[in-house]
Amino acid sequence: MINALKQDCKRLSELPLVELHVEQNDQTVWDRLIYVEEKIATSENKHDEQLAAVDSRTPRADFPQLIQGYLSPEDKNKDLDKLEPESKRRSIGLYLVLLMDNIPRIEMDVWVDFGFCTCKNQAMEANLFGIGCAFIFIIILIIYRQCRTITTLLILNSIIAGFIVNIMYVYQVISQLTSDGNDKLCKLRGFLLQSGCGLLYHTLCVQALYRFFATIPKRQQYLQSKYTITFIVLVQWFISITFNLPILIDGRIKFEVNYRICQVSMQDLYGFLYLSIWIYFFPLIIIIGIYTRLLIYIKQNPYRLIIHQNIFKRQRQKYEFHIFRHIIILIIILIIMQFPNLLVFFYYSIN
């Protein structure tokens, strides 16, 4: 019965909503629809009883609210069961079944029990683990003053950025568990999540810039000082905090019903390209540019690098160069991880 209804739904879904009443002469289709609706209601009641015994906080997807986009302005304030004529009620019922079959059910999310708290799926677990590791590293730097070198301070800069990103992801998951996610702070959370991702990648740019200053001898005197690096870090934080403000002010961060999160839609050509440039391509271009300039300098001045430095400095520069190469690999991995999002974006743009 359900397979037959799915075939009917596939055929009927190809028709505009206003033309669905033409197919209602086939009473068999609507008998199947009523049968499946009764089965869905019965199975959901049983599932609700089992779910209540596990955790009563899990929200439910509001399908009547999702169907509002298909209604005319005069029908949006009416009860779905009181729409006239009857063909309209049956059409809405069919679309509800289609929504139930395609939209992920919220109550099917997996919960992880830590003993002291209950969290949603492995992503929440990873975020909490990242917060714990970052907190431990920050405590170590506060206690042991001998660790407070420029290198460790730059690493601390990246760890603080990762700490902020993980905190925001945990806050986002908690808001989804306690509500539908579309509250007054939804757009602010979306803004902070996107800014946090940019902040994390921008800190890697600062690390690459410092490695560049440490490798070229003639620039070590003033560019490697704590005051210069501190100023660069402050500029980086200012850019990371403000680059996403035009998107927020322009109202491009919107609530997405399917994901229950506020973000810039991939169908928004300007907004998605703007964020992609600032978050991913801007750091990658800067780091690759610095790396290329460093390779050119080493190739053109191999003798100067050897004569003007003792063995200790040459070993230190070799170490700095290897670390810089690791940063390049890390950035490339991060960009590759976002490659599927770019494919989806181009798909939406073409269509």
Task: Give residue-wise pLDDT tens across range 209-218.
Answer: 887 887 766 6
Please identify, among 61, 88, 108, the residue that sits at the C-terminal boundary of a domain.
108
Separation of alpha carbons 316 and 89, rounded Å = 75
Instruction: Show the domain range for 57.
Output: 2-108
In this predicted structure, the answer to whether residue 201 has a pLDDT above a threshold of 70 is: yes
DSSP string covering 207-228, please? HHHHHHHHHSGGGHHHHTSHHH
Give the rounded percent of residues in the chain with a pLDDT score beyond 90. 4
Quick one: 32 exposed, middle or buried, by C-beta within 10 A (0-12, 13-18, 19+)?
buried
In this predicted structure, the answer to whether residue 39 has a pLDDT above a threshold of 90 is: no
Separation of alpha carbons 140 and 142, rounded Å = 5
In this predicted structure, the answer to whether residue 53 has a pLDDT above a threshold of 90 is: no
More confident site: 79 or 149 = 149
Q: Are residues 337 and 305 in the same domain?
A: yes
Q: Are residues 74 and 103 in the same domain?
A: yes
pTM: 0.57
Q: Are residues 97 and 241 in the same domain?
A: no
Q: Are residues 216 and 115 in the same domain?
A: yes
Contact 284, 337 (CB under 8 A): no
Q: Are residues 64 and 135 in the same domain?
A: no
| Predicted local confidence at residue 55, as pLDDT | 41
Q: Are residues 264 and 311 in the same domain?
A: yes
CA-to-CA dists, residue 175 to 142, 169, 181, 288, angstroms = 32, 10, 6, 38
Q: Are residues 86 and 137 in the same domain?
A: no
274: CATH: 1.20.1070.10
Average pLDDT over residues 84-101: 60
